[in-house]
Amino acid sequence: MADTRTYIRVHDGMPDHPKVDGLSDKAFRVLVESWCWCSRHLTDGRMPAATWHKRGTPKARRELVDSGLVEQLDDRTVRFHDYLEHQRSAAEVEEMKAARSQGGTYGGHVRWHLNRGITDPECSHCDNSTHGSSHGPTNGKPIAPGSVTDGKPMASSSTDTETEGTTSGSSSRDSVNRHPADRYVRASDNDLDGAIAGLLTEQTGRPCPPDHAAKVRRQLLDGRQVDKPLPYVIRAIRDDPARFLPPPPPTPCLLYPS
């Protein structure tokens, strides 16, 4: 499971930077501890003066101010220089947590409601779903649950979530849809994108931006006729999350202007 703890990013050449190289060990420790405090408390690089004055010694704090690494905004607040250039903002952290949470609730919805043809009025995902068959017969043949009609093969990681062709002998035993029902649910694109973002963040440890989630949705579903896209997408991602890896975060680089 992905590590859900918050963390700071520090370039491995940071100790050699001119603004940092001359710091005493005490000042260096105060700097790193303060970055950790800002990350943990989601302050976007700001710290109350009362908290700041409890860190290290007056001499160590003065070193950081004189070097330009800490800015005194007013009598009540200090700010760490270029913090948001290298660390995640509070908004980014909250977005990542929300994506993980949404992915988790979607998993429960799929397992207990969607796959069993059950509607729970207290489930927000059930409220956003539309029951009823999404697709009618194709070429006079019914579409099996989880099947596709374009004949396009999927990668080996997710072939067990779809059935090529519509022969009467097709079996759904290996499909993510293990509880066939008369009613099938299609989630909206926004719901699918939210589930994709949450699952990829959970599985890979990388925040998944909305445009990447939409790209993965199109990659998995465009050109395919899938009766239950949500469980299909979830199964495909869980089978091979590395195949849909979100872009890496910006390379951390603590290079401050002179």
Note the pLDDT of residue 114: 67
Angle between helices 210-221 and 229-239 (to 10 degrees): 100
Spell 54-72 as b/e; 16+ CB within 10 A means b. Answer: ebbeeebbebbeebebbee
Rounded-to-integer distance, Cα 51 and Cα 21, Å: 25
Q: Nearest Cα to 191, choosing from 163, 228, 161?
A: 228
What ranges do the domains of the chain cover?
14-86, 90-244
Rounded-to-integer distance, Cα 113 and Cα 177, Å: 11
Is residue 67 over pLDDT 70?
A: yes
State what percent of residues in the chain have pLDDT above 90.
33
Note the pLDDT of residue 140: 38
The helix (H) or strand (E) run that includes residue 155 is none
Over residues 137-159, mean pLDDT: 38
Query: Quick one: tokens of 240?
Result: 């091979």
E strands within the chain? Answer: 46-48, 70-72, 77-80, 147-148, 163-164
The region of weakest confidence among 32-36, 53-57, 176-180, 221-225 is 176-180
Q: What is the pTM of this model?
A: 0.45
Q: Nearest Cα to 144, choosing from 133, 129, 155?
A: 133
Query: Quick one: tokens of 258?
Result: 């002179």
Which CATH code, of 1.25.40, 3.30.1490, 3.30.160, 1.10.10, is assigned to 14-86? 1.10.10
Note the pLDDT of residue 36: 96
* Type of residue at 6: T
Please count the residues of the chain. 258
Q: Would you list the DSSP string of 62-93? A: HHHHHTTSEEE-SSSEEEETTHHHHS--HHHH
Query: Quick one: tokens of 108?
Result: 């429960």
